[in-house]
Amino acid sequence: MENKKELGNWLTELNLDHPLVIAGPCSAETEEQVLRIAHELKDTDVSYYRAGIWKPRTRPGNFEGVGALGLKWLQKVKAETGLKTATEVANRAHVELALEHDIDLLWIGARSTVSPFIVQEIADALQGTDKVVLVKNPVNPDLALWLGAIERLATANIKNLGVIHRGFSSYEKTKYRNTPEWQMAIELQTKFPDLPLINDPSHITGKRDMIFDVSQTALDLNFDGLMIETHFDPDNAWSDAAQQVTPSTLVQIMKDLKIRKESTPKVAYNDQLKNLRAQIDVMDNQLLEILGKRMKVAEGIGTLKKQENVAVLQSKRWNEILGKMVLEGEQHNLSEEFILKLFKAVHQESINHQELILNK
Ligand code: PEP
Ligand code: MN
């Protein structure tokens, strides 16, 4: 990815004074519907008009999209409103049709990103294009797969790239349709700071009343833009009805969101920030030092257990520690979720150290 510096030029060139907004219906349904939503989004923050033409449905029998016919409607959108157009492509035929109809932005859906064969086919079909190509995260939380797709596109000499964070499916029921696992998007952003990062709160939440909060979190985490499904009659949409918002709700969301600056040249701010960060660095080092010491003690326990041939895992003792630490954590304003994660990790490392001693 030598050319990653240039990957985000398409976004810089838009010269926006707000986050990028991609909006439009989950699916193109009729010509009337597509054009009506587009006209309602015309004089807003929206730069790209999205509409799914080929819909990847998890189960057959649901509405699978209007097909190539919808591309003509998107061309009309561009001609009548000036909005740039965007749609999902999932194979070579889709790419060729989208290019023929001069679609400005193509995205690879979450169910396609999981398949290197599909991604490679799309990359080959798009070879050298100057269209914008965005890659949604794969349905499973696998950063390598997400990065792999970007690499395949970059290798095919596609210069205008970006990623869409739409959350990850999980077996457990959560309040999200797809859990955000924000740390994955953050890691990707840290590795490739020049790659535009767009949040898709519609598919993360699955519910329109949660969209604002997730969008705000995304902006707080320095995301470059939002993709929000929009329909004039969300409840009667042919797909993803529960998560679509009306154009006027979208405008309100954009108005209410707090847009954070990436930084400020203010001297006092930067001095204080530097000071606080120095304190954090010192404490992080102290944390490591104390964890190292704790493992040394664990090794001592390992030696003792070895002498007496006692098992490493002592569940009763461990459950007592966990319970105590959750209560103790409360005193320090640390959430139960965090304490459980932290101590499970510490415990695992401790077991690993003891195992080494026992099996020496
Ligand atoms: C969509 O954007 O409508 C879509 C199908 O999204 P995803 O690939 O994230 O499920
Ligand atoms: Mn959708």
What is the per-residue DSSP string for 175-202? Answer: SSSSB--HHHHHHHHHH-TTS-EEE-HH
pLDDT of residue 2: 37
Scanning the chain, the segments in alpha helix (DSSP H) are 9-12, 31-41, 69-81, 92-100, 110-113, 116-126, 143-155, 182-191, 201-205, 211-220, 247-256, 267-308, 315-331, 336-358
Tell me which of 22, 26, 48 to substitute to probe ligand 1's pocket, judged by most ligand atoms within 8 Å of the beta carbon: 26
pLDDT category of residue 4 using cuts at 50, 70 and 90:
very low
CB atoms under 10 Å from CB of 161, counted, come to: 25
The protein residue with its alpha carbon nearest to ligand 1, atom 10, reads 110
User: Measuring from atom 3 of ligand 1, which residue has the nearest CA?
Assistant: 26
Mutation test residue for ligand 1: of 59, 64, 87, 88, the one with most atoms within 8 Å of CB? 88
Pocket of ligand 1 (CB under 6 A): 26, 52, 56, 109-111, 136, 166, 203
Task: Looking at the CA of residue 110, tell me the nearest atom of ligand 1.
Answer: 8
Band of pLDDT at residue 100, cut at 50, 70 and 90 = very high
Task: Summarize pLDDT for 342-359 with one digit per residue, the tens.
Answer: 999 999 999 999 999 988
Atom 8, ligand 1: which residue's CA is nearest? 109
Looking at this protein, which amino acid is placed at residue 219? L
pLDDT at 59: 84
Where do we find the tokens 């010269």?
15
pTM: 0.82
In the chain the domains, ranked by start, together with CATH numbers, are: 4-259 (3.20.20.70), 267-358 (1.20.59.10)
More confident residue, 262 or 316: 316
Nearest to 4, CA basis, from 194, 135, 225: 194
What's the pLDDT band for 60 if we cut at 50, 70, 90? confident
Q: Which atom of ligand 1 is nearest to the CA of 112?
A: 8
Rounded CA gap, 186 and 194, in Å? 13
**How far does residue 76's CA lie from ligand 2's centre (Å)?**
22
Which atom of ligand 1 lies closest to the CA of 202?
2
User: How many percent of the chain have pLDDT more than 70?
Assistant: 99
Cα–Cα distance, 32 to 28 (Å, whole number): 10
164 CA: nearest ligand 1 atom: 9
Query: Confidence band (pLDDT; 50, 70, 90) for 5?
Result: low
139 Cβ neighbours under 8 A, 6+ residues apart: 110, 111, 113, 114, 168, 169, 178
User: Could you tell me which of 164, 167, 262, 163 has the C-alpha nearest to residue 210?
Assistant: 167
Residue nearest to atom 9 of ligand 1 (CA): 110
The answer for residues whose C-beta is within 8 angstroms of residue 310's C-beta and 6 or more apart is 304
In tens, the pLDDT along 314-340 reads 788 888 989 999 999 999 999 999 999
